Structure 1
Amino acid sequence: GEATNWEIGALDGFTQTSNPLVPGGATWHDPETDNLTFINDVFPGLIEERSSNYTQIFDTFISQVNSGKISVPEPGSVIGVAIALGMGGLLAKRKSNA
């Protein structure tokens, strides 16, 4: 995913970080910096932290859908299709890891 920090650089959203180890403040689509090795070296633990956060969000969402506390949009809508595809992939992965 891409990140934007609207409070740094030219305040135009194109600067991701003020970390001096990131040339120009962005790693977007640059093979030299937009890769696991560079990101892990410059931001140790970030990928694991974000992955954990997203997993917690999806687990909470799935639990609420399963309990009937929230409902998913109709599959005919663009949002419904995107959610259905994402949840289907997540559920398939969870089953294969079980």
Structure 2
Amino acid sequence: IYHSFYDFDDGPPPKRTQERLVHSRDFHPEVPFLEGIFLGERLVAIFTTKEYGRAWEKEFRNEPQLQMGVNLVVFALTQQGSIAQQQIDFYTEQNQ
């Protein structure tokens, strides 16, 4: 997912409002996460607390989160067995 269109060499982008997590003995912030759900070896869903949906609806300062959204869509459309891949195969066979 991190390289399907845009490159995220350091992992997923942070929450839009998350600039830096501060750690001390008295302060334990929730660390936002991104997890994948697999069916066998196929990634079928993503779950995250990074609030990308909120970032996508904003008009500014959301470019990394929008790029991650593009990566998710491209990844989903280009996986073997995806609906998009099935349609491409179907129409390729029809035009031969």
TM-score (norm 1): 0.28
Q: Which has the higher strand share?
A: 2
TM-score (norm 2): 0.28
Highest RCO, 1 vs 2 (Cα 8 Å, sep ≥ 6): 2
